[in-house]
Amino acid sequence: MKPKKIGLRKVGNEEQIFKLRISLEGTEPLVWREVMIPGIFTLEALHSVLQLVVGWQMKHLYDFEIAGQRYSEPDEFNDIPTKSVASSLTSALNGEKSFVYNYDFGDGWRHHVQVEDVLSRKDEFNYPIYLGGENACPPEDCGGFPGFEDLKQKLADKKDSEHKEMLRWVGGYFDPNSFDANRINRDMLWMIDWRREPNDQGLYLPFNTEGDSEVTGRLNS
């Protein structure tokens, strides 16, 4: 069923702030996040934001499903027509209330993204803002939902024959219930200069603070 449209508030496109709720489908308990992001951000930038707030490591391909259209980076091995991730969030949504973000086509992580509100920009806010969420992101390459559930069971059972092997694989520590909104904002989102273009690997880079007394990260100019 095609997502219903919402009536956007009468706010200029450059002033629109989208409050999004991201749910990692199939996880139990549910892995979810809330974030506020400017509508002028491209889908490519949104991908980077989602990677940071959910907890992924930008190791795999991704795409967006919006109103029956697929947005992705160019792929010479895929003949299916796609739209560009250089599209802004505002233009791609065009009033849609929800969309899907897919990551790692092997493990098949599917995120349902709900537009909870469209707000006006506030000068005192540093966007994007991670508002909160619950439960840890699955480790990369753990085998999708079945592998994640199996991993959690083995880590929780010290008597399991594969407990030590799985503990070593995750680096010695993994808490499936942990998340820290303050750290994600302070040490990740707000350290990046979102006004710059991404590098050749598609990564948005931190501010160059040499000679600068402040790191603002604001997109108010």
Element (H, E) at 181: helix 181-187
How confident is the chain (221 residues) per 10-residue block, as mean pLDDT? 38 80 95 96 96 92 96 75 92 96 96 97 93 93 93 94 94 85 78 85 73 39 40
Whether domain 13-135+179-191 has CATH 3.10.290.30? yes
What residues are paired with 102 via a beta bridge? 63, 110
**Domain ranges, ordered by start, for the chain:** 13-135+179-191, 138-176
pLDDT of residue 215: 38
Please enumerate in sequence order all residues whose Cβ is within 8 A of that of 144, keeping only pairs 6 or more positions apart, or say none.
106, 107, 108, 109
pLDDT of residue 218: 39
Please enumerate in sequence order all residues whose Cβ is within 8 A of that of 94, keeping only pairs 6 or more positions apart, or say none.
5, 67
Whether omega before 128 lies within 30 degrees of 0, making that bond cis, reads yes
pLDDT in tens, 145-193: 999 999 999 999 999 999 999 999 988 988 888 877 777 887 778 888 8
pLDDT of residue 40: 95
